[in-house]
Amino acid sequence: MVWGLAVMVLVYSVGHISGAHFNPAVTIAFATCRRFPWNQVLPYISAQVIGSTLACGTLRLLFTGKLNHFLGTQPAGSDVQAFVFEFIITFYLTFIVSGVGTDNRAIGEFAGLAVGATVLLNVLFAGPITGASMNPARSLGPAIVSHHYAKLWIYIVAPIIGAISGAWVYNLMRFTDKPIREITGSFLRSSA
């Protein structure tokens, strides 16, 4: 529950400043859909990875009992399972973020709740299998601090592909930027 609540709180507290871009995969996906400027992708990803690394480094300093404890993500099953699960949960996350964060027809006040609940559901669903990263920075920071890079490629490649796919599927479904009442109103008038 902590992950979902933490994301929800962050969306509400700094979403108006950064667009709540905490995830390089989502940032890249939005750039591919022209929902985020390409010239800001590298600075955002740098900040995301630095933030993740500093957070993990802080945890390493605070909890020094077992120095070889790895705070990152590792698959519990096969690499294929982990890849597919990370793809699916990041697809789902980015699809939801696209809906509540980039579509002016959505109720923006509920974006933090929707995104936080999505993270929570994804963690419940995939956490035991992959650690439910959904975020390359979330996996890269602990890997840098612990010098533990085994299987890291899964947590970089699958979320990026999943996020791009989720954003594009939502954007293909978004056939208009008109409010839903205008779409349904014109549909009802044309079918009468």
Q: Which of 10-14, 84-88, 117-121 has the highest mean pLDDT?
A: 84-88
Question: Is 148 among the domain residues?
Answer: yes
State yes or no: pLDDT of 23 exceeds 80.
yes
Share of the chain above pLDDT 90, in %: 55
Question: Is 66 among the domain residues?
Answer: no
CATH number of the CATH domain containing 89: 1.20.1080.10
Structural domains in the chain (count): 1
Please give the mean pLDDT across all residues of the chain.
87
- CA quadruple 139, 143, 148, 154: dihedral sign: positive
Question: Is 68 among the domain residues?
Answer: no
- Choose among 22, 5, 20, 14: nearest CA to 137: 22
Q: Indicate the pLDDT class of residue 170, thresholds 50, 70 and 90.
A: very high
In a 13 Å sphere around the CA of 11, the CA atoms on its Cβ side amount to 22
Domain housing 104:
20-60+77-191
State yes or no: pLDDT of 187 exceeds 50.
no
